[in-house]
A and B are shown apart, each in its own frame.
Chain A
Amino acid sequence: MTNFWRAVLTILWKDILLEVRAKETITPVLVFAFLVVIIFNFAFEPTPLLVVTVAPGILWVAFTFAGVLGLSRSFAVEKDKGSLDGLMLAPVGREAIYFGKLLGSFLFMLVVELLMLPPFLVLFNVPLFEPEFLITAMVATLGFAAVGTVFSAMSVNTRAREIMLPVLFFPIVLPVIIGAVAASGPILEEGSWSDIAGWLQFMVAFDAIFLVVSSLTFQFVLEE
């Protein structure tokens, strides 16, 4: 294994271990996402016709806001005892730190999304455990985490980081959220791969562009 991947996996291992030990982030994030879904369930009478129209939006509102909460903690844990300096002192490329933190956020969000699917299924009775939806969720979540990791690092040094992160982050990540909502609609109407291919390609392109741009800009964000 190269030094780069060893560093990436070491950072990922540390983030997983910290979350498993403290459960500081996953519990409030899950409660929050669940409350969002419950509120929408009461706001609309979930008739079969209405559900396929509004369910993608509700689902991605829950995922998106829960994801922002998770991202805001991603670098906050590194600030508490100055351990961000510890990462920066290590003789590894800043890209390795970026990809390690990105993978941690990506896995965290996937776990939250998977845990949210059963209650959503019960409340809205829509087919979510379909390969088309799971792939869409993974691609959208990767783009979300790719951009969010940079903005999380950027906002961690600001005084009002909980406010600054969504304000800076949402305008950039909006295309991938729109893509996820638009691709989820046909899936819930039991459409096929061809119905979502265009949106999937769009999101894959977004992911590729922002993975490259974010990894290149991350070192400047971290050091200034």
Chain B
Amino acid sequence: MNSRRKGSTCAIEVQGLHKAFGPLSVLRRLSLRVEWGECLVLLGPNGSGKTTLLKVLATLARPDAGQVQVAGYDQRQYPAHVRAAVGMLGHHSLLYDELTPEENLRFYGRLYSVAGLEQRIAEVLKRVGMAERRRQRVRTMSHGMQRRVALARAILHDPPVLLLDEPESGLDQEALSLLKGILKGTVEHGGSVLMSTHNLEQGLALGDRIAILAGGRIAYLESARTLDAAAVQGAFRRHTGASL
């Protein structure tokens, strides 16, 4: 992993982030810090701003105010460095239907200037269990298979920071355990993961810390080691008025 800035003290640092869409403020002076070697799980009801936060971190949306640093790079000053350091898996697969997984990854790999690209493509497709289907067009694949290829695309350039928006959606048990392996591998190698989810069980299993996003800011943040499902559900109800 060479995309992080030398001397960067944490993977993600957000201070006073504000983002509005017209009159609707989605994020309100949000502050958050994710350490290297940590997986932070973000919980929140629909519309709480989880996707917006991930998009701002990935440079897909501009913050209205506040400071955002990813892998030691300021999001506004060094957007290309931030993009090189981030692997994002969102709601969409970002794949081209008429291309095969291999061709999709070759396309993205060239944009990211991935060294030893063909070898890396073979490696990541094997990691997500799609090596056998590397030459099948994406449009002929099931949703779950497309999600696996999308995951391969997100990790293709070996990013030190993974931003995952409900990554478990559409994955079967086998794919879920592959995902867990990839996330654990990233964290063990000193990288960081920020993932949003509605699946409390997965969140507790994968996260080092659990955060609840409510009212446009981090309303709750605790170490996952000290928590059980009932405690998180209680906190979720208290802060959002909804249940998980």
Interaction A to B = yes
Please list the residues of chain A having a beta carbon within 8 angstroms of any beta carbon in chain B: 3, 6-7, 10-11, 13-14, 17-18, 21-22, 77, 80-83, 85-93, 223
| A6-B113, A90-B111 known; A82+B90 contact, CB < 8 A | yes
- Asked if A89 and B96 sit within 8 Å, CB to CB, the answer is no
Q: Which of B62, B103, B137 has the most CB of A within 10 A?
A: B103
Q: Which of A18, A87, A88, A89 contacts B99 (CB 8 A)?
A: A18
Q: Which of B62, B80, B108 contacts A86 (CB 8 A)?
A: B108
| A86-B108, A90-B83 known; A17+B90 contact, CB < 8 A | no
| A89-B83, A90-B112 known; A82+B94 contact, CB < 8 A | yes
Q: Which residues of A contact B103 (CB under 8 A)?
A: 17
Cα-based distance from A21 to B112 in the complex (angstroms): 24
Q: Which residues of A contact B88 (CB under 8 A)?
A: 89
B81 at the interface (CB under 8 A from A): yes
- Asked if A86 and B99 sit within 8 Å, CB to CB, the answer is no
Q: Which residues of B contact A91 (CB under 8 A)?
A: 80-81, 83-84, 111-112
- Asked if A89 and B58 sit within 8 Å, CB to CB, the answer is yes
- Asked if A21 and B90 sit within 8 Å, CB to CB, the answer is no
Q: Which residues of A contact B83 (CB under 8 A)?
A: 89-91
How distant is A58 from chain B, measured CB to nearest CB, in Å?
A: 34
B189 at the interface (CB under 8 A from A): no
| A6-B113, A17-B99 known; A81+B81 contact, CB < 8 A | no
Instruction: Give the interface size class of chain B.
Output: 20 to 34
- Asked if A80 and B97 sit within 8 Å, CB to CB, the answer is yes
Q: Which of A6, A82, A90, A92 contacts B92 (CB 8 A)?
A: A82
- Asked if B112 and A83 sit within 8 Å, CB to CB, the answer is no
- Asked if A85 and B95 sit within 8 Å, CB to CB, the answer is no
B91 at the interface (CB under 8 A from A): yes
- Asked if B96 and A92 sit within 8 Å, CB to CB, the answer is no
Q: Which residues of A contact B80 (CB under 8 A)?
A: 91-93
Cα-based distance from A90 to B98 in the complex (angstroms): 20
Q: Which residues of B contact A11 (CB under 8 A)?
A: 111
B86 at the interface (CB under 8 A from A): yes
| A6-B113, A90-B83, A92-B111 known; A81+B97 contact, CB < 8 A | yes
B242 at the interface (CB under 8 A from A): no
How distant is A163 from chain B, measured CB to nearest CB, in Å?
A: 23
- Asked if B96 and A18 sit within 8 Å, CB to CB, the answer is yes
B237 at the interface (CB under 8 A from A): no
A-contact 0/1 string along B208-221, CB 8 Å cutoff? 00000000000000
Q: Which of B86, B93, B95, B110 contacts A6 (CB 8 A)?
A: B110
- Asked if A88 and B96 sit within 8 Å, CB to CB, the answer is no
Nearest-CB residue, chain A, relative to B98: A21
How distant is B59 from chain A, measured CB to nearest CB, in Å?
A: 8
- Asked if B86 and A89 sit within 8 Å, CB to CB, the answer is yes
Cα-based distance from A110 to B181 in the complex (angstroms): 49
| A85-B60, A89-B58 known; A22+B111 contact, CB < 8 A | no
Nearest-CB residue, chain B, relative to A79: B92
Contacts A83-B96, A85-B90, A93-B80 given; 10 further ones with Cβ under 8 A?
A: A18-B99, A21-B137, A82-B92, A85-B92, A87-B111, A89-B58, A89-B59, A90-B112, A91-B81, A223-B62
